[in-house]
Structure 1
């Protein structure tokens, strides 16, 4: 069957304009910018989630382990040698006994090798040594013996000043230490931290063969990475 054309001739002999009967689709805008925005939003959400997980984990560990700062106290000094030499140098060989108390119920401390301890008199080095490397368990009190030795030259005039302090049974020494350690939570070890200590010791007797009682100000220490 022959179908008539969709349009006919107009009176002036021209074909009328053709009318498109289909649907009209407006051109879509480019979405490149929207993709970048979505990516940034997803990254921010992921970053926020990670921070939230870490914050919850730290809060849980803090509440569960209830961490407390360890305490340290010098008990006495055992003098093996303290000798004045004619060249104004001093031979020193002493052992400091330190009481270390870890009051934590679930946090241990692992003291590492690379430590140092220096003892000075009026900023002149007297002797030096190392902090013992060991694992300090939970709720544990350990008596540590720290060997300090040295042969060091004192500045001019300090020999007489030190002898005068010794006659008055009041020798003021300064101990400075740096001790690397790790916190131990069960089988998990933290990254290495540094404990920096600074304390003034007042020694009453430096005669060899005697355990000189010491007094000290509060041991001030700070942590660093």
Structure 2
């Protein structure tokens, strides 16, 4: 009997679990010993925003700010001073009126200029209780017909006190060019019984507040007159008298 030798092969346990091995990602690099090399995730370049410290104000800006502040302060002080003076003195503009107008002479010269001499009586009224008025040199008063100046004269220099009324007698003389043409126009206007004349005043004055004499200002005025005649040495009736005055600093 032949002995058959039976080969026994090891039986592989299908249910047995395969030995665990470290998982190596696909495509990862390995070392020479076969161990996977750990790779760091790629770093991202994050832009760094650099903040600059705030700039200090320049000397120029500071100078402008100080200048503006000083100007505003001066305006406030000036406004407060003006308001105080107004409440303390209650200033009022003086008023004037033309009382009478007399023509002493009105004739043609040999050089064909028109010579005129007017005598004017003016009333100046200062209604202020605490303000005096100095009428300085250089005051002028003139009479015009349309755009032609007939004559002019100087206002006297004097001081007008508080609530004072002053009567002024002013002599006006002058010579106008194109005398024949101007004389014809005046004669034709005289036939209507209404001759329009402009009386202009330019008076430099200084105001006195209490005991303080202020700087000079100018009183500018204009009176629209309508007279009935321009006959020399006759009483002239003033039919209309409209005067307006203002101060010019």
TM-score normalised by the chain length of structure 2: 0.66
Q: Quick one: which of 100, 107, 127 aligns to 2:131?
A: 107
- Determine which structure has greater relative contact order: mean sequence separation of CA pairs < 8 Å that are 6+ residues apart, divided by chain length: 1
Q: 1:109 to 1:95 in 2, by over 3 A?
A: same
Matches of 2:230 and 2:63, distance apart in 1: 71
In the TM superposition, what are the counterparts of 1:158-177 in structure 2 within 5 Å? 158-177=182-201
Tell me, yes or no, if structure 1 residue 65 matches structure 2 residue 89.
yes
Q: Give 1:219's aligned residue.
A: 243
Count the aligned residue pairs: 196
Q: Secondary structure at the match of 1:105?
A: coil
Per-residue deviation, residues 5-25 of structure 1 (Å, max 9, x unmatched): xxxxxxxxxxxxxxxxxxxxx
Tell me, yes or no, if structure 1 residue 210 matches structure 2 residue 234.
yes
Matches of 1:166 and 1:79, distance apart in 2: 14
Larger Rg: 2
Q: Give 2:103's aligned residue.
A: 79
Tell me, yes or no, if structure 1 residue 95 matches structure 2 residue 119.
yes
Q: 1:210 to 1:49 in 2, by over 3 A?
A: same
Q: Greater CA deviation, 136-145 or 37-46?
A: 37-46
Q: Greater CA deviation, 175-184 or 40-49?
A: 40-49
Tell me, yes or no, if structure 1 residue 192 matches structure 2 residue 216.
yes
Q: Greater CA deviation, 47-56 or 92-101?
A: 47-56
Question: Residues 199 and 216 of structure 1 are in contact (CA less than 8 Å); yes or no, is this contact kept in structure 2?
Answer: no
Give unpaired runs (5+ residues) of structure 1.
1-28
The alignment's C-alpha RMSD in Å is 2.9
Q: 1:40 to 1:163 in 2, by over 3 A?
A: closer
Q: 1:132 to 1:33 in 2, by over 3 A?
A: same
Q: 1:172 to 1:44 in 2, by over 3 A?
A: closer
Q: Secondary structure at the match of 1:191?
A: strand
Matches of 1:62 and 1:94, distance apart in 2: 39
Tell me, yes or no, if structure 1 residue 139 matches structure 2 residue 163.
yes
Question: Residues 125 and 154 of structure 1 are in contact (CA less than 8 Å); yes or no, is this contact kept in structure 2?
Answer: no
**Deviation of residue 49 (structure 1)?**
4.4
Q: 1:35 to 1:211 in 2, by over 3 A?
A: same
Matches of 1:156 and 1:117, distance apart in 2: 24
Q: 1:205 to 1:156 in 2, by over 3 A?
A: closer
Give unpaired runs (5+ residues) of structure 2.
1-52
